[in-house]
Structure 1
Amino acid sequence: MSKPVVREVTIDAPVPRVIEVISDLENTDRWANEAKSAKVQAHDDQGRPTRIVVTLGALSFTTDSTYEVTYGENTVTLTCVEARLIKESTITYTAHDEGDGTTRLEMASTMEVTVKGVPRWGLDRAMGSSAEKNLQSIKKDAEG
């Protein structure tokens, strides 16, 4: 797996609100750039989604991908466990309390695809662009 693509944004909202937006995986399509829809398959004892099937669309591809979701101290990690076009993918959101009511949200993602001929630089560029759009959408949702 290659180095993660990392992007961050400062959000004018406290960490719990930011994590709440990210954890709303039933509505991932509101803020995840490539997500067209999401269906939760399992929840943990706190009611948070732990397994989701996301219909992803980018360029001319549309595919369903299954992700396991884990939660840590101010983190949400999505790990792809089944997909046709994705060989491996991990996305981790980490929220940092800036001490003034704002949150610095970092998104780190790695991905390997099964599509032949996709250059690494192209995939990294697309992942970076997607991360920036996703972070801006999370910011808008958390601040709104």
Structure 2
Amino acid sequence: MAESTSSSIVINASPGDVLDVIADFAAYPEWAKEVKEVKVLAEDGDGWADQVEFTLASGALKDTYVLDYEWDVVEDGTGRVSWSLVSAQVLKAMDGSYTIAQDGDRTKVTYDLAVDLVIPMLGALKRKAEKQIVSTALAGLKSRVER
């Protein structure tokens, strides 16, 4: 992911607990405030979601998009969950990942995100929007896992 925005947070929970929240797409509207609706479109044989449709409403940005997921995680929940854009109306690209790592008795989660819109946007504004998305997502994830 070239020129992505990245940020990390430490969560007071095990990697497995963090992974469980990341994988529970039906609950995203409860903790990811811009996500209004989520539908799992396809799953692999292990029950991991392969394709997920999101309906997003964040200020002026409203879109319904489909992401393709890759689950490179081990049994304890550590590893990497990544996604790439399959289809959208406003988004031209959305590639990202959560990297989940053990940090003592806590978990460090690093979120990388690269977004491109169909409508041209200044690079500085795009990075600011990415940083807001990443920050909000990590704070929501931490809050949901630690509740």
Q: TM-score, normalised by structure 1?
A: 0.92
Q: Secondary structure at the match of 2:126?
A: helix
Q: Secondary structure at the match of 2:50?
A: strand
**CA deviation digits over 1:76-134, x for unaligned, max 9?**
112111011111111100011012x1001000000111013x11111111110121111
**CA deviation digits over 1:7-64, x for unaligned, max 9?**
1100000111111111111222233343111111111112121111101122223211
Aligned to 2:92: 87
Distance 2:95 2:32 in 1: 14
Distance 2:98 2:50 in 1: 15
Q: Secondary structure at the match of 1:129?
A: helix
Q: Does 1:135 align with 2:138?
A: yes
Give the % identical residues.
21
Aligned to 1:98: 103
Aligned to 1:111: 115
Q: 5+ unaligned residues in a row in structure 2: which ranges?
A: 74-78
**Which amino acid in the other structure matches residue 80 of structure 1?**
L
1:11-90 pair list within 5 angstroms: 11-73=11-73, 74-90=79-95
**Which amino acid in the other structure matches residue 29 of structure 1?**
P
Q: Which moved more, 1:25-34 or 1:62-71?
A: 25-34
Q: 5+ unaligned residues in a row in structure 1: which ranges?
A: none
Q: TM-score, normalised by structure 2?
A: 0.90
Residue 63 of structure 2 contacts residue 91 of structure 2 at CA under 8 Å; is this kept in 1? no
Q: Considering only aligned residues, what root-mean-square deviation do their CA atoms show, in Å?
A: 1.4
Distance 1:30 1:124 in 2: 26
Aligned length: 142
Q: Secondary structure at the match of 1:130?
A: helix
Residue 26 of structure 2 contacts residue 39 of structure 2 at CA under 8 Å; is this kept in 1? yes
Q: Secondary structure at the match of 1:93?
A: strand
